[in-house]
Amino acid sequence: MDRYILASQSPRRRELLHLVIKDYEVIPSEGEEVVSSTDPDQVVQELSMQKALEVAKKVRPCEGDRIIVIGADTVVAVDREILGKPQDRADAARMIGMIQGREHHVYTGVTVCTVEGSTPKDGGNPEPQYFSFSEETAVDVFPMNRGEIEGYVSLEEPYDKAGAYGIQGAFSIFIRGIRGDYNNVVGLPAARLYHELAARGLV
């Protein structure tokens, strides 16, 4: 029996994962995030791997069962410079100022860890097996004047999101277009994840 776990408490990722897997649990990762790269696509893969492995090592499958843990991380990058979550209103306004009137890129890394249940004769706990991938989407933003930027950062929306905006929220009126997977910008490339899982017999 397969048991699916999402290593994230993001409500957006929960909704998107439900498109791929109907029944799953949520066990958020809690470890410190450490990266060794500055390339956005590598950073998100490293972070998603850390999240998935942390949770995979906490759970123990029953004999004959298989646990499948999915970790994800999303960053926004302008000219390969990563924009994290804003620290305050001024930081949010700075970030929106960087992405307005131009194209930027959103990267989501996904790691899938599998842990097979061992039999008593096997002894010990098997090490998780995993694979990672990243998806990139280009987002083009209309030019915004100072009043529009200040109006947007006065909302609650920007402050828990990479790059200080949510494409599915109030910021959507400033999106001129995208190239790539919309769901990737929201936080999880559901179509890519489905096909990666299907190719390995995991869904």
> Which pLDDT tens digit goes with each residue over 74-88?
999 999 899 989 999
Average pLDDT, the chain: 93
pLDDT tens-digit series, residues 95-126: 999 999 999 999 999 999 999 876 555 555 67
Q: What's the residue count for the chain?
A: 203
Over range 44-59, report the average pLDDT.
94
Q: Residue 155, Cβ neighbours under 10 Å: how many?
A: 13
DSSP output for the chain? -EEEEES---HHHHHHHHHH-SS-EE----SPP--S--SHHHHHHHHHHHHHHHHHTT--PPTT-EEEEEEEEEEEEETTEEE---SSHHHHHHHHHHHTTSEEEEEEEEEEEEEEPPPTTT-S-PPPEEEEEEEEEEEEE----HHHHHHHHTSSGGGGSGGG--TTTGGGGGEEEEES-HHHHHT--HHHHHHHHHHTT--
The predicted model scores a pTM of: 0.91
- Token pair, residue 147, equals 């009043």
**pLDDT at res. 62:** 80
- Catalytic residue set: 73
Which band of pLDDT confidence, cut at 50, 70 and 90, is reported for residue 31?
A: confident
**pLDDT at res. 139:** 98
**pLDDT at res. 121:** 52
